[in-house]
Amino acid sequence: MIKSIREAVSERRTIVNVVGVLVLLAVVAPFIIVGVPQLAGASQSHVVLSDSMSPTFESGDVILVEDVDPASIEEGDVITYADGSGERTTHRVVEVVERDGERQFRTQGDANDDPDGDLVPASAVEGRHTHTLPYIGHVVLFAGSRLGLALFVIVPGALLAVSEVWDLYRAWKRAEGDDDTTDRDGDGDSTGARAAGNGAPEPTEDD
């Protein structure tokens, strides 16, 4: 009976551990992809900072972008490009324009009423949008703030240091207790030997 109960408890613990690992992977995996977008077949990842492409993706989402040959970009594609200052924008191509022998793109945010003012040259295109990771950008931006740095780096580091000190203290106390036990055991053996000696029968003249 007891054995069957132990086996049932052990089985439940195994199930809980497996579920826990799966949940952990589900939580951690998106952040791994943000850091290494190549795992999802993309070349870059970017945090969305505005709602100009709503409802396709929203501010606080993370988008994945793949390298693409500008010649393959068509109307309807969502592209990421950099302007002269290096600022990145991700908007939808609403028109492909051939001008002065160069392929250019007229873009517009899905939430905007009008197209962007300037055409995007092919040389400014960084990639094409492939996937969206909702809400992950909020965590990424928070982690980069002072408070986020404290919560995700400083506090865990301090807790780890406290844990290490506590483990060392417990090990020291355990070793000290073992020494005391050894001393007490040694004293008991000596006393027992003396008692045995005192209790031994005295030789008699008959012997």
Q: What is the pLDDT of residue 195?
A: 37
Q: What is the pLDDT of residue 99?
A: 83
Q: What is the pLDDT of residue 14?
A: 79
Rounded to whole angstroms, how far apart are CA atoms 36 and 43? 8
Assess contact for 127 and 68: CB atoms under 8 A: yes
Q: What is the mean predicted confidence (pLDDT) over 62-80?
A: 95
Rounded to whole angstroms, how far apart are CA atoms 147 and 139? 12
CB atoms within 10 A of CB 141: 14
DSSP the chain: -HHHHHHHHHHHHHHHHHHHHHHHHHHHHHHHHHH-GGGGT-SEEEE--SSTTTTTS-TT-EEEEE---GGG--TT-EEEEE-TT--EEEEEEEEEEEETTEEEEEEE-TT-SS--SSPEEGGGEEEEEEEEETTHHHHHHHHTSHHHHIIIIIHHHHHHHHHHHHHHHHHHHHHHHHHHHHHHHHHHHHHHHHHHHHHSPPP-TT-
At residue 191, what are phi and psi to the nearest 5 degrees?
A: -65, -40
The pLDDT of residue 186 is above 70: no
Rounded to whole angstroms, how far apart are CA atoms 139 and 62? 10
Longest dimension (CA), the chain: 134
Handedness of CA 98, 100, 102, 107 (dihedral sign): negative
Domain 39-134, CATH homologous superfamily name and number? Umud Fragment, subunit A (2.10.109.10)
More confident: 197 or 151: 151
Lowest mean pLDDT segment, chosen from 16-30, 72-86, 143-157, 190-204: 190-204
The pLDDT of residue 52 is above 70: yes
* pLDDT tens string 96-119: 999 888 899 999 999 999 999 999
**Which pLDDT band, with edges at 50, 70 and 90, does 196 fall under?**
very low
Range ranked top by mean pLDDT from 58-62, 157-161, 193-197:
58-62
Q: What is the mean predicted confidence (pLDDT) over 170-195?
A: 60
The pLDDT of residue 21 is above 60: yes
More confident: 137 or 11: 137
Percent of the chain at pLDDT exceeding 90: 40
